[in-house]
Structure 1
Amino acid sequence: MNIILKNIKHISVNEGITINKLEQIIGASKGVLSRAIAKNTDIQTKWLVNIVKNYPQYSCEWLIKNEGEMIKPTGEIFLTKENIEETAINYKDLAESRKETIDSMKKEIMYLEEKIENLKKQNELL
């Protein structure tokens, strides 16, 4: 996998979001990044620009060339009203994504607890 695609995956993991969610955040059609990752193909530069705009904390040098640190030193991130608003939206998306994960895990736990109870009952009958 090429460096840029690998680093895009690192960003999604670091942000706690799926590639599909990252596509949504940067305004890409569903599958633009995920297909590129799966097929190891290039992506348009406009998607890189949108990643950098939406995630200014990540170093462009790292994203494109895998050189230097992934996260910029704090002083290099220039906060603007636009960045702050975008960050707030990103946190909302992250919270929503994590809530979905928690709800899914709760359902799985309930299913497993029921299964345990059924196995206990079966074991008592033996």
Structure 2
Amino acid sequence: MSPVRAEDSERSIKQSMIRGALGRCPACGQGRLFQGYLKVNASCAHCGEELHHQRADDGPAYLTILLVSHLGAPLLLAIYMMYRPSAMSMLIGFGLGAVVLSLLLLPRIKGGFIGFQWARRMHGFGHETPALGASIP
């Protein structure tokens, strides 16, 4: 029986997603995940884990839109039924609220996506990628 290597051990999905959502490296939890607002660092400054493999793409944006709209729509209806505010005040209030909530959620959701990808060893996290033209068993 071969010994279990460190890179073959199970990675905690919950812990790595929480670390990513907090903007930290999913591997060590110490280094910064983002270089700016949404730009991912090529590697962790603390542990050296390569982070350039991530492929979050449009997933975080879609999930952010889904969450903001599902939180905003029932709230909009409840506020309208209780207080009957003017259309302009609702437009300004809920428009501003949707923008602020989206800006707050987007980097956290993207970090969670990257943490999930790292934990599941997706897109090159943890495995060597096969060379072009090589057969995959």
> Which range, TM-score by smaller chain?
0.3 to 0.5
More helix by share: 1
Higher RCO by CA contacts (8 Å cutoff, separation 6 or greater): 2
Structure 1 length normalisation: TM-score?
Answer: 0.34
